[in-house]
Amino acid sequence: MDSNFRILETASKQAFDKKFKISDKLKKSGGDYAALVYATARMSEETFGKVECMVVDYDMAKTMLLPIQGRGYVGIVVNPSTSTDYITLKVSATMEPNQDIENYV
């Protein structure tokens, strides 16, 4: 997603549509949902510190919203058992090459 929460690219759309029943309304307003989740986290930044990742656990999946400084956001849907800490570090290391992920794994 870009900094205005517009979806830039999707992967495995067919597999995603098979697993989850996404209403047309949600398909059109997915960026609004991401903006709402991120805004909620930003409200607590003063107390808890910089937002590293937003994760919401559901029965069938986890959703993640990762802010990429100066570039926008990465929205990800993963299996409920997935290690979101690892994904956060991997995406951050990919987007910011000066960060060494090997120190965190």
DSSP string, 30-81: HHHHHHHHHHHHHHTHHHH-S---EEEE-SS-EEEEEEETTTEEEEEEE-TT
C-alpha–C-alpha distance, residues 101 and 70, integer Å: 20
pLDDT of 12? 63
Question: Mind listing the pLDDT tens digit of every residue in the chain (105 residues)?
Answer: 555 666 656 656 666 777 777 778 877 777 787 778 778 888 888 889 888 888 889 988 888 888 777 767 777 888 888 888 888 888 777 766 554 444 444
C-alpha–C-alpha distance, residues 85 and 88, integer Å: 5
Q: In percent, how much of the chain has pLDDT > 90?
A: 1
pLDDT of 60? 86
